[in-house]
């Protein structure tokens, strides 16, 4: 299987007026292949968002680099952007546009072929069951509806890599479940999905491999079974705690 993401010692340092230098992400390396869901698991402030933002070329790394679909995030950011769909839990929508207009806007911005764009939008509207509200301004939609629009927006140009930063944050169980199901479908289509969360059960359910991240460092990477073997714990929560507390228990 083709390697889609290869992060190599990615590092991000901020200078904070009060705290001085803050190492948000400390030289993390990992890779993922097509058809894989790669989970990044960590508590709030662990560096998940910063790491994913660097992959998505929103932030420039202080040092290190990463290849996405063969493109370097530092040297060829625009090519990287053409290969990814990015979604975070706090992503907003244009309130005064309709879902269909938003999909059209991002389809065109991401160079999706014009002649097939309307068909693609129609398919997404069907897939996410958005017919009822596809032409209603987003300001009038419920949270669940909006999240559907956000996901459709992230994948409208059919990118090979999906970067989802805590996409289920703030969603009710039903919508979150639908989202996780969709992510699993993406795996079936051969997409490479990077998925960050601090919810253990989500990671247990869908991730093929998990990187546990704490204070900007990756403590361990592997499938759930590999992590169990390494820590001697059965549940991800225990695995996580054991890794964070020094990883020496098992």
Partner 1 sequence: MSIGDTFLVFRKEMTDLLRDRRSVLAMIVFPVLIHPILIFGSARLSSYGETRLKEETVTAVVEGGLPDLRERIVSAPGVRPLRARDPAEAVRSGRADIGVALPENLAISAGGEPEAVLFYDGSRGLSGEAMERVARILDEWKAEVREARLDSLGAAELKRVLPVEEKNVASEERMAGGKLGKLLPILLVFLLLNGASFAAVDLFAGERERKTIETLLTSLAPRSSIVAGKFLAVAVSAVIATLLFLSSSFLFTRIRWAGGEGLHDAWSVSPLSAAVVFVISLPLAFLLSAVLVLISSHARTYREAQTLLLPSLLLGVVPAAASVAPGVRLESIVAIVPIANVAVAVREALLGNYPILFLGLVVLSNSIGAYLVLRWARAFLSSERTVFGEARREPGVLPADRPRAREVTIFFAFEILVLYYLGSLVQSKDLLLGVILTLWGFLLLPTLVFARRYRLDIRRDFFLRLPSLRHLLAGILLAPASLLAANLLFHAQSRFLPVPEDLLEAFEKLMGSGEGGLVLMLFAVAVSPGICEEMLFRGLLLGQYRRVLSPTRAVLAGGLLFGLFHLSIYRFLPTALLGIIAGWLVLRTRSIVPAMFLHAVYNGIGVLAGGTGGALEGESLSTPWIAGAILLAAGALLLLREKEWGGGDG
Contacts with partner 1, residue ranges (CB under 8 A):
13-17, 20-21, 53, 56-60, 62, 78, 81-82, 84, 86-88, 90-97, 101, 105-106, 108-111, 137, 153-154, 157
Q: How far is the CB of 158 from partner 1 (least distance, A)?
A: 13
Nearer to partner 1, 84 or 224 (CB): 84
Neighbours of 113 (CB within 10 A): 10
Pairing of strands 63-68, 84-88: unpaired
Q: How far is the CB of 107 from partner 1 (least distance, A)?
A: 10
Nearer to partner 1, 13 or 33 (CB): 13
CA dist 172 and 246 (Å) reads: 34
Nearer to partner 1, 90 or 118 (CB): 90
Q: How far is the CB of 115 from partner 1 (least distance, A)?
A: 16
Q: Which residues contact 157 (CB under 8 A, 6 or more apart)?
A: 82, 85, 106, 107, 110, 111, 112
Q: What are phi and psi of 190, to 5 degrees?
A: 85, 15
- Residue 156 is given by DSSP the state T
Q: How far is the CB of 110 from partner 1 (least distance, A)?
A: 5
Nearer to partner 1, 137 or 205 (CB): 137
Closest CA to 179 of 73, 50, 87, 55: 87
Q: How far is the CB of 223 from partner 1 (least distance, A)?
A: 28
Closest CA to 51 of 150, 91, 62: 62
Nearer to partner 1, 144 or 247 (CB): 144
């Amino acid at each position: 299987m083709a390697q889609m993401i290869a992060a190599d010692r990615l590092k991000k340092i901020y200078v904070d007026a009060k705290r001085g230098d803050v190492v948000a992400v400390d030289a993390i390396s990992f890779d993922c292949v097509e058809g894989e869901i790669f989970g990044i698991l960590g508590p709030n402030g662990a560096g998940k968002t910063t790491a994913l933002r660097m992959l998505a070329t929103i932030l420039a790394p202080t040092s290190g680099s990463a290849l996405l679909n063969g493109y370097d995030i530092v040297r060829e950011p625009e090519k990287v952007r053409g290969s990814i769909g990015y979604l975070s839990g706090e992503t907003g929508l244009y309130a005064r546009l309709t879902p269909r207009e938003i999909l059209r806007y991002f389809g065109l911005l991401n160079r999706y072929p014009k002649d097939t764009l309307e068909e693609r939008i129609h398919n997404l509207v069907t897939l996410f069951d958005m017919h009822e509200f596809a032409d209603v301004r987003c300001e009038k939609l419920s949270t669940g509806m909006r999240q559907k629009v956000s996901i459709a927006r992230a994948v409208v140009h059919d990118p090979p890599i999906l970067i989802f930063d805590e996409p289920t944050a703030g969603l009710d169980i039903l919508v979150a479940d639908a989202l996780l199901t969709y992510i699993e479908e993406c795996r079936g289509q051969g997409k490479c999905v990077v998925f960050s969360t601090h919810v253990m059960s989500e990671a247990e359910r869908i991730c093929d491999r998990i990187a546990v991240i704490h204070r900007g460092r990756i403590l361990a990477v592997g499938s759930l079974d590999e992590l169990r073997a390494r820590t001697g714990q059965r549940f991800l929560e225990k695995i996580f705690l054991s890794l964070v507390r020094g990883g020496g228990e098992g």
